[in-house]
Amino acid sequence: MTPLERYLAAGVAAGCPRDQMDRLVRASVYLGLEYDVIGIEEATTLSPRKHLDISTCSRTSKPNWRPRIYSTSNPGGVGHAWYREKFIVPYRAGRETETRFIPARVDDNRFNNPEYAKSQAGPEAEAGEHGAGERLGGGVAAFG
C-alpha cells in the first residue's frame, strides 16, 4: 500500500467521506511544486491548513516576477472564518497590506443570464448585499 493509499484508508476509517478523501489526495499531488500564479476557485471550501499548503507553492525562479494567488469565494463553507479574517476584515477596515479583496455581486456582471442570477438569490445573497451579521436565521453564513 502506498503512502497516499494509507492516508486515504485512514481518512475513510476516521469517518471522512470517500469522495472528500479522494479530492484531498488528488489535490495533494500538486503540493511542493513551484507555481508563478495560482488560481483557487471557491477558496472557502478549503480548510486554513489546505490553503496554507497551496500557498507555499506560490513561488518563482523567474527574475522580476512576483508570484500571485487569485481566489474566488462565497460565504459559508469550512474556510469561511479564516477567509473572512484574512480578506474581508482588512478590506472593510481599509488596512489591506498583504491582500487585496475585490467585492463582487451577481448583479455586477451584466453578462450573467437571468436564470443564474435568480439561482443566486436568497438569504446568503441578501446578507451580503445588506451587510447583515455573521449568521442569519437557519444558520446561513454571510461575510457580514
Per-residue confidence in pLDDT tens, the chain, 144 aa: 666 566 666 666 666 667 766 666 666 767 778 889 999 988 998 889 889 988 999 999 999 999 999 999 888 888 999 999 999 999 999 999 999 999 988 888 889 898 988 887 766 555 554 343 344 333 445 565
Cα distance between residue 123 and residue 129, in whole Å? 10
Q: How far apart are CA 82 and CA 51, in angstroms?
A: 10
The residue with cell 483557487 is 40
- C-alpha 91/C-alpha 85 separation (Å) is 10
pTM greater than 0.85 (yes/no): no
Confirm if 53 and 29 have CB atoms less than 8 A apart.
no
Name residue, grid cell 478523501: 21
The full set of domain ranges for the chain reads 1-30
